[in-house]
Structure 1
């Protein structure tokens, strides 16, 4: 079966995810509480890029989309606010005729390719494991990270999840992600911190603590390294 690229429209984000790119979309804990009326919704559009590359993306008018597909191997995100026209456009695609769906897909890709605010989620492309056992190991590891990111995580703990020694786990993880485990853990924590900075009224210190940081200076340093600005600057830019 040939792999597909997907565009996922969420209330706050539009994601472009390359073929075989591992990802986890998790609702906040309050969505899983008993009697919760909260519901998560998304719209996904899947397509096979090789079909478009052979038929359309060689044209002068569409060559700019090739760069977007290259970025998709690392994941692309466009942050949205309520009433975003692209998100509303994607929601209409399932009800359209096949020809209109194709035109709608091209329009969505063009919008993403020409929006300077899109973000590449990873600085390196993901290398798909060749062995099914390795793929399952990575899935287990990422599931563990997303569940436990707010708590202290020792290298021995996550290595145990992968059923590897700490040294073997470090080599395995870097081989398939091109990143160290500590860097990926910080990325996950900082991403959750960004959401809290956008949506909650907690102080920066409280958010840092709830995202797994016991040292505010370390949180600020990691935040600036990953996001490119301080938490305070991030809040000001978001509300501009």
Structure 2
């Protein structure tokens, strides 16, 4: 069956022979938008929409204009809040570079030593917001028109934005010490599970029922999911539900009782307790603060 700790699809980044910095863009839904990992560092801009980002054992709401930096082999995915049939053709812009290239730069140029701390932070997935994110978004978007030395200069300028960002404009979201062994073979199952959870968040969620969806026994599925996602199935469901609640509180005028139901909670006290556990505040406090 499944052995070891697994992290979803291993994406093989194929660059042109004369480039070390890969730049690309895509929409959503896309075959590229899935739970996956790769050895390259990735800087990623969300140009449109809202939803939640999964990185390692973290799950946080995202909005357009945010920029993320993900270290080597940090599994990640962005799932947008879309109606059936809706698409976002220009959602993602990203660049990727192997960390060995940046480590070589640090060894050769002492002026680049400030990158060392940034690379360490990226192992916990850096989320950039505010004016720093706006500046990084502009650089990353324009990088697609550059080549050669111009693209290298853009990357260094982009990294400098992360280094210089004030403390209130960046955060790391992955738990310190989080790690999984990089193996492959479970990507279809883990992505099928995540899709099922997302489509049934407002319903009662049974581990046994989801296990049947991928033809596994309950105990085997529980072990597999914890190994593949880095968190337990119940914790993943809770985080997805609270992430959805955060989006609804921030972007709609729905009453809290309706939001509670939309997110699969029957008991108000349980909803409030779980929401505070994830966000540190009540749903009402969250709405006031984010409005």
Task: Please say whether Structure 1 and Structure 2 have the same fold, judged by a TM-score greater than 0.5.
Answer: yes
| Distance 1:156-1:131 versus aligned 2 partners, 3 A rule | same
Counterpart residue number, 2:52: none
Counterpart residue number, 1:23: 76
- Alpha-carbon deviation of 1:119? 3.5
Match of 1:165 among 207, 213, 217: 217
| Distance 1:53-1:47 versus aligned 2 partners, 3 A rule | same
Q: Does 1:222 align with 2:277?
A: no
- Structure 2 gap segments, 5+ residues each: 1-11, 14-38, 47-63
Higher relative contact order (CA 8 A, sep 6+): 2
Are the counterparts in 1 of residues 126 and 171 from structure 2 also a CA contact under 8 Å?
A: yes
Residues 133-159 of structure 1, C-alpha deviation per residue, up to 9 Å, x if partnerless?
x23322222222223223222111221
Q: Does 1:127 align with 2:177?
A: no
| Distance 1:215-1:69 versus aligned 2 partners, 3 A rule | farther
Counterpart residue number, 2:8: none
- Alpha-carbon deviation of 1:32? 2.2
Q: Does 1:98 align with 2:151?
A: yes
- Alpha-carbon deviation of 1:117? 4.2
TM norm structure 2: 0.68
Could you tell me how far apart the structure 2 residues matched to 1:162 and 1:67 are? 41
Are the counterparts in 2 of residues 14 and 77 from structure 1 also a CA contact under 8 Å?
A: yes
Counterpart residue number, 2:41: 5
Are the counterparts in 1 of residues 71 and 125 from structure 2 also a CA contact under 8 Å?
A: yes
- Alpha-carbon deviation of 1:128? 4.4
How many corresponding residue pairs? 233
TM norm structure 1: 0.81
Higher helix share: 1
Calculate the aligned-residue CA RMSD, in Å: 2.9
| Distance 1:64-1:99 versus aligned 2 partners, 3 A rule | closer
Are the counterparts in 1 of residues 42 and 69 from structure 2 also a CA contact under 8 Å?
A: yes
Q: Does 1:50 align with 2:100?
A: yes
| Distance 1:63-1:218 versus aligned 2 partners, 3 A rule | farther
Are the counterparts in 1 of residues 105 and 112 from structure 2 also a CA contact under 8 Å?
A: no
Residues 105-128 of structure 1, C-alpha deviation per residue, up to 9 Å, x if partnerless?
32233245x433433333263514
| Distance 1:190-1:39 versus aligned 2 partners, 3 A rule | same
Are the counterparts in 1 of residues 65 and 134 from structure 2 also a CA contact under 8 Å?
A: no
- Structure 1 gap segments, 5+ residues each: none
